[in-house]
A and B are shown apart, each in its own frame.
Chain A
Amino acid sequence: MGDFRGQGVLFDPDGADWRGVSPKLITVRLIVIGVWFGLPVIGGLVALVIFRHWWIALPTAAWAAPGAWAAWLNARLVRAIGYLEREDDLLIRKGILFRQLTVVPYGRLQYIDINAGPLDRAFGLAKLSLNTAAGSLNASLPGLAPDEAARLRDRLSALGQARMAGL
């Protein structure tokens, strides 16, 4: 995937063929950012215009800054999400500034969830969550096409069952 260039060898084992998630996730996340940051900021601006108190600008700006930051990074962050199915484990990669690579061994999978909220469904997306016995492991793949999510779920649970039996 294009945007993985420059992430360094550390997060790109053997130049393998990583798969990205759907670009529609960019839109979905933008909408979410808009709701969380855009609406309050608009409200703040309206209040500023109506009441003309300069200090209203302060919380508005304080709220707008992270929103703008999130919106600016959004597309790159989504493009940075990738996964790689290997023989024995699934690798999930996330983040640009703070990078994270998670190795989930198939034989350790306990259950796999597919979640799709209303916004996700409207855009035809689903989120796959992988759960092992470690509560601390946060391995999820947002922005998958439902078909791909179902395929991954079936494949991973089959592989998991085959490998888990022994241990």
Chain B
Amino acid sequence: MRPEAKGRADRRRASALEPGRGQEAGAKAASAAGPAWRRLHPATPYLRSWGVILAIIAVGLFNMAENLADALDAAGRLGWHWLALGLAAVLAVAFAWAFCWWRRARFRLAEGVLELVTGVVFRQRRTVRLDRVEAVDTVRPLVPRLMGLVKLRVESAGGSDSAVELAYLKVSDAARWRREILQAAASARQAAEAPGPGETEAAVTGAGMAGDAAGDAIWDGAGDGAGDGAAAGPAGGAAVRERADRTAAKAFEGAAGDQTASGIGLSSAGAPGPPKSVETQVGELLGDSDARAPELFAVPTARVLASMALSIWVWLAVAAGVAAVAMLIGGELDIAAGLLPVVFGAGGVIWGRLMSDFGFAAKQTSRGLTLSHGLTTRVSQTIANGRVLAVTLSQGPLWRRFGWWRAQMLVAGYGADSEQKQSVLVPVADRETVRRAIWAVAPALAQPGAWELVTSAMDSRGAAPGFTGEPARARLFDPFAWKREAFALTEEMLVLRGGWLMRTATVLHHGRIQGIELSQGPWDRRRDLASVCLHLPSGPVSAVIPHLGGADAWALVEGEAARLNAAMRAALAARDQPAHDQPAAHAAADAQESVEQRSPRAPDSACLPRFRW
């Protein structure tokens, strides 16, 4: 708390003079880490290529085993000392290469950027602008973990390949570097956002006060208070969260005028944590102590295993496996062989999920939500406040009687990673846990009435208050899910429900929609139906409402276009009024940058008509 107050004071002094000073301060903070190059851990080359080494050994052994006698014979003829010498030479070359690689791989924090240089013959230099850094996640695969080594993954706004990995570092070094990178990133972002000289006074007094007050409220309420409260169990934690909600909101009422909540991802002003004023930003990053943060939820291992056992993939794998064995016994070798890919495919999905979801725990820090999970590879990722664009909940048929749901989130920086392990918000949990997780990333849903819509989207069918769905005449086109496909509106959010066997409920912010598509085929037209697709950045969330009545579909398209534009205008207005420096607007601007920076990609199929279960 104290160092951040100091940082804040520095910040104020720096920005009060001239905008350039902010940059200098950022640079100085960066140079405190030293523009000198740093090295990775010497074991890095072996750890990075141990897969290759194993493969070579395995292939070698396999080939030798084929004709072991011949190989021994040949070796005997050649002379064992030659063989040993050859092996030694190969090893020496490998070690020399590894040593060169290690000597030449280096990274540093320089003026506003993080640089990583790798490669011996082909040198590669990767540069990350610090003001674009979204998160610094730690990843601990099994073998390095046993050696006390860690990989730092620096996520920045940009396409899916924008992450830079500092692998491997000692745990203690990694912790230090993580802090330094986050500090430098905060300084850089601060410098980039420093207001012009004319506006400084008002901005500093206005936003500074708000920042201080809110910062304190957040720390006292959510930080320390909830730290104590969390011990009292989940219910206690929730209660504290709500308290923090109110204090933070109260702190904002006085200092920062209108609450321009629209247009800032799923989070809104006056929420716990999310408001990032220029002043609190650095402090928040500095004060980011995960250990002190209260645990929001944890998924017990038994629950993960049970949910696996109740997933369709397991049944598919087991059924295919049983069938394969039966065919094998029956002598139908071809069919058995044909079933193997199914067994391995489904088994692979299950295995991947288990490896990734194991020991899933979430903590609420001042900076955002910190998720840690994984069995062999331990991942710790921080979802910064305001970065979640949409959340989708899903529930397979066998999970229903237990009331379990899986939540995935759309985060701009993560892109569409194919396995979407990074996108899991809650692997499996009951409704109460899901609520806490979602409220952490989407405080707007904590408003009265909003959560009721989401719970209704989770299990209502047919007509439900607030929902507009497919009319009965759409039944022919959507025989299973037609009673489930529907949407509902709140002031800030769009709530979608769908799916028949695999139920889904999706929440997105009006201001996050990238484009709207209305489509109608010839059969749709005969029955006056049309489908609406809301385009979002690529990720695990797809927002399609098929076969709405014509008038409803058109109203949704027009209404959503209007709401989207209103949200953008509100954010624009909030940004252009430094006196009412609404921290949320900065979060919004940041988040937009992150969306902006994405590299072009081939069109994906989010809006293709498909058969919905």
Contact = CB atoms under 8 A, between A and B. Distances in A.
Interface of A: 8-11, 13, 88-89, 97-105, 107-108, 110-111, 131-139, 163-167
6 pairs of A and B residues whose beta carbons are closest in the complex: A166-B572, A134-B535, A134-B514, A136-B606, A166-B571, A88-B565
A69 B427 CA distance: 49
B263 A166 contact: yes
A100 B517 contact: yes
A68 to B, nearest CB: 19
B603 interface: yes
A165 B521 contact: no
B517 A101 contact: yes
Contact of A88 (B535, B561, B602): B561
Contacts of B446: none
B605 interface: yes
B564 A105 contact: yes
B572 A135 contact: no
A167 B514 CA distance: 12
A133 B598 contact: yes
19 contacts: A10-B530, A89-B561, A97-B522, A98-B520, A98-B521, A101-B517, A103-B517, A107-B568, A132-B535, A135-B416, A135-B604, A135-B606, A136-B533, A136-B604, A137-B517, A166-B572, A167-B567, A167-B568, A167-B592
Given A107-B565, A133-B598, A166-B576, A101 B519 contact: yes
B60 to A, nearest CB: 43
Given A102-B517, A138-B603, 16 more contacts: A10-B553, A10-B554, A89-B561, A99-B520, A101-B519, A105-B568, A132-B514, A132-B535, A133-B412, A133-B537, A134-B514, A135-B538, A136-B603, A136-B605, A163-B565, A167-B567
Contacts of B537: 133-135
Interface of B: 263-264, 412, 416, 511, 513-522, 525, 530, 533, 535-538, 550, 553-554, 557-558, 561, 564-565, 567-576, 585, 588-589, 592, 595-596, 598, 600-607
Contact of A166 (B538, B573, B596, B604): B573
Given A107-B565, A136-B606, A167-B568, A100 B514 contact: no
Contacts of A103: 515-518, 557, 561
Given A108-B515, A166-B585, A167-B567, A10 B520 contact: yes
A166 B431 CA distance: 35
Contacts of A99: 519-521, 525
A99 B530 CA distance: 9
A134 B536 contact: yes
Contacts of A88: 561, 565
B413 to A, nearest CB: 12
Nearest to A102: B517
Nearest to A129: B600
A131 B601 CA distance: 10
A14 B166 CA distance: 56
A8 B551 CA distance: 12
Contacts of A107: 565, 568
B574 A166 contact: yes
B518 A10 contact: yes
Nearest to A107: B568
A7 to B, nearest CB: 9
A100 B568 contact: no
A100 B575 contact: no
Given A88-B565, A166-B574, A167-B263, A105 B515 contact: yes
Contact of B572 (A101, A137, A138, A163): A163
B577 to A, nearest CB: 11
A134 B520 CA distance: 21
A11 B603 CA distance: 24
Contact of B565 (A105, A131, A139): A105
A110 B604 CA distance: 17
B596 A167 contact: no
